[in-house]
Structure 1
Amino acid sequence: MPIDTEAQFTDVYRAHYEDVLRFVRRRAHPMNVDDIVAETFLTAWRRRRERPRDPRPWLFGTARKVMLNANRGMRRYSALAVRIQEAGQGGMSVVTVDPTASADSRMDLAAAWRSLAAADQEVLALHIWEELSTKDAAGVLGCTRAAYAMRLTRARRRLAGLLGTSAAASSALATTH
Structure 2
Amino acid sequence: MPIETKAQFTDVYRAHYEDVLRFVRRRAHPMNVDDIVGETFLTAWRRRRELPENPRPWLFGTARMVMLNAHRGMRRQSALVVHIQQTTETGSHARALDTTAQVDSRMDLVAAWKELLPADQEVLALHVWEGLAAKDAAKVLGCTRAAYAMRLTRARRRLAGRLTASTASPVLAPTH
Q: Is the radius of gyration larger for structure 1 or structure 2?
A: 2
Which structure features the higher share of helix residues? 2
Instruction: Between the two structures, name the one with larger relative contact order (CA 8 Å, sep ≥ 6).
Output: 1
